[in-house]
Amino acid sequence: MSLDVFPPSRMEEIQSANERTALLDKEKSRINNELGGSKPIDGLERTNNATWPIYFIILTIMLERAAYYGILSNLALFLSDDLELSQVVTVVSVFMFTGMAWLMCTVGGVVGDSYTGRFKAILGSFIIYIIGALLLELSARFCDKDAKVTICKKLSQKGAFILCTLFIISIGEGAFKSNITAFGAEQITRQDDKTYRMYFNWFYWGINIGCFIGYSFLAFTQQYCGFVIGYYPPVACLVLACILFLIPKSRYNVYPLSANAFKKVYNVIKEAKSRGRSNAERVGCPGLEEVMPMRSWLDRAMIKYGGSYLDSEVEEVKKLGKIGIMFIILVPYWMIYFQMNSTFLLQGLHMNLHSNDISNQSCQDKDKAIIPAASLSLADVVVVLLAIPLMDKIVYPWLDRRGWGITLSKRILIGFLFATASMVAAGVVEHFRRGLLDKQKLTQCININHNYPAVDMSIFYQVPQYALIGVSEVFASVGSLEFAYQEAPQSMHGFVMGLLYLVQSVASLLGAGLYAFSSTKVLKWVDNKGNARSANLGKLDNYFYLLAAIMFVTWLIFVVLSVKIDFKYRNESLAAVRTKRRSSNKRGDSLSKM
C-alpha cells in the first residue's frame, strides 16, 4: 500500500469500531481496492440475486454459438457450390477457418487480461463479429455465380473476398470465446470444486443449445432458402446476444487488469536461463540453497535466490508448464472433434438424405432432400444436452456420496475412449459406403439447385459416430474447460483459456495437414484433383482409422500420466485434511484449558 492511500479514508470509522462491529461490511470491496487488493472493481460481492448475471452470460453464449454453428454447419457446402473448389481444398479451407478462429482466442485472451479488461474485450469482439457476419451475407448475395449483380466475377476475387470475411469472423469469434468463459466464472461467489463443476457443466449445456439451433433451424434455412436468406439469422443472433450481454452490466464483477502474461512468462524464463547456478548462490542469500534447495531451474528467478521475481510469480510460470503438458495431450482429441464439420459433412453429402425410399431425384423434381447433412450434428448435440443434466444432477452426486467420485483426469480418459470409438464407427460407415459406389448410385438435390451424386445408404448410419463424439464431449471437453480455469493462476485466466483454444487451433490445422498428406503420392487415400461433389471420396476410411490409432496411443500415454496426477492430488487432499484435523485438535485443547 502506498502513502497516497494511507490512512484509509474510513480510518475514523475503523477506530470507532468495537467488538460488535461486523468485520466484513457491505463496502468491503471498496476498502479492499483502496488497500491494493484484487477484488472486483465494478460491482460488489453479492449474496442476493448473485447468479442472475450468469444466466444472461449463458444466454449470450447460447446465441453466439447458434450464430457460429449456423455459419460453420454448411460452410463446406457453401464453398464447394459457390467457388466449385476441389474436395481437398474444401476440407482444408474449413479446417483453416476453424483453426484461425481458435488461434485468435490466444490473442483475445491476452487483450482481455492485460489491456482492455474482459468486459470491453467481449463488447469489442461483438462489433467485429457482427461486421464479419454481415460481410458473409453480402458474399452470398453478390459473389454467387447465379447472382444478378456480382462484385466478384473471377474465381480468385471470390476466394479473396470470402477468405477475408472468414478471417474477420475468426477475430471476433476468437476474442469473444477466450474471454466469455473466464468472465462467466468470475461471477461465481462460491469458489469450490462442486460449484465450478456445476457452472462449467451448465455453461457447456448452453453452448450445445446454441449448437442445436445452428445445426437445425439455421442449417435447414440455408439448405432450403439458400445462403442469401440463410445468413441473416446468424447476424440477428449476434445482435440479440450483444443486447442480452449488456443488460446486467451494472451487476457484473469486473476485475482489474493484470500484468501482461506473455511478458511476465518471457521475463521469468529469460532471467532464470541467464543466471547460472553458481551465480544464484553468490548473489542470493548465502547458504539458503543448502537449507531450501531449488526445485526447478526457474527458481533462479526468485528474489531469495538472487532473482527479481516473487515466489508466487515464478510458481505461476511453473504451473503454466504443467498446464501445457495437459493441453498437448488434448491435441489428438480435438483433431477428432473437428471432423464433424469437415469429413463427416462431406461423407454425409454423398449418402441418401431422404427419410423414405426415394432412390433418385434431381432439382427438377418437386420434392427435395429433406435431411440437411449438417443436421446430423444434432445427434452430438442431443447427447450432450441429455447427458450433462443427468451427470450433474444424478450420477456425479451419487458417486460423490459413496466416495467413488470420478477425478478430472479419469473423466478425460473416458472421453478419449469414446472419441476413439467414434473414429472406428466413421471408418466402418465409409468402408460400406465406398462399397456401394458401383452398385447403388442416386442423384439428389442440395442447396436449392445443385445435384449431388450419392449412394443409396441412409445418412442415419452416421448417427453413432456423431453420438459417440457427443459422449466424449461430456467427459473430455467439459473436463478440459474445468481444468483450464481451475489450474490457471488468477492473473492468467484469459491467457490460459487462450492457450487451450490455441491447442484446438493447432489440432484443427494438424487435421487439415493430415488430410492433405493423405492425398499425396505417399498414401494416395484421397484424390487431390477430385471435385467435392464427387461421390468417390477415396479411402477416407483409412484416414478415420489412422485418427483412431493416434487417439488410442494418446489414451495409453495419458493413463500413465493420470496415475501420477491422481496420486499427487490424493496426497494433497490427505495433507489438507490432516492439517485441518490438527488445527481442530489444537483449538479443542486450548478451549479445554480455559
Average pLDDT, integer, range 162-177? 89
- Distance between CA atoms of residues 142 and 156, nearest Å: 14
What is the model's pLDDT at position 413? 92
Residue 433: how many CB atoms within 10 A of its CB?
A: 22
Judged by DSSP in three states, 306 sits in coil
Same fold for the domain at 1-23+46-252 and the one at 310-593? yes
pTM above the 0.85 mark?
no
User: Which CATH fold would you assign to the domain 310-593?
Assistant: Growth Hormone; Chain: A; (1.20.1250)
Return the minimum-mean-pLDDT range out of 151-155, 331-335, 339-343, 561-565. Answer: 151-155
CATH number of 1-23+46-252: 1.20.1250.20
Tens of pLDDT along 545-556? 999 999 999 999
Mean pLDDT of 313-319: 84
Grid cell at residue 386: 441429455
| CA 330 – CA 335 distance, rounded (Å) | 9
> Where do the domains of the chain lie?
1-23+46-252, 310-593
Round the average pLDDT of the chain to a whole number and report it: 76
Q: How far apart are the first and last CA of the chain?
A: 38
Res. 23 pLDDT band, cuts 50 70 90: very low
- Name which of 10-14, 137-141, 503-507, 568-572 the model is least confident about: 10-14
- Determine the residue type at 305: Y
Is residue 592 pLDDT above 50, yes or no?
Answer: no
Q: What is the pLDDT of residues 83-140, one digit of tens each?
A: 666 667 777 778 888 888 878 887 887 888 778 888 999 999 999 999 999 998 888 8
Q: What is the pLDDT of residues 191-218, one digit of tens each?
A: 667 777 788 888 888 888 898 898 888 8
pLDDT-derived band at 436 (thresholds 50, 70, 90) equals confident
* Locus of grid cell 494511507: 6
In terms of Cα–Cα distance, which of 123, 128, 158 is closest to 144? Answer: 158
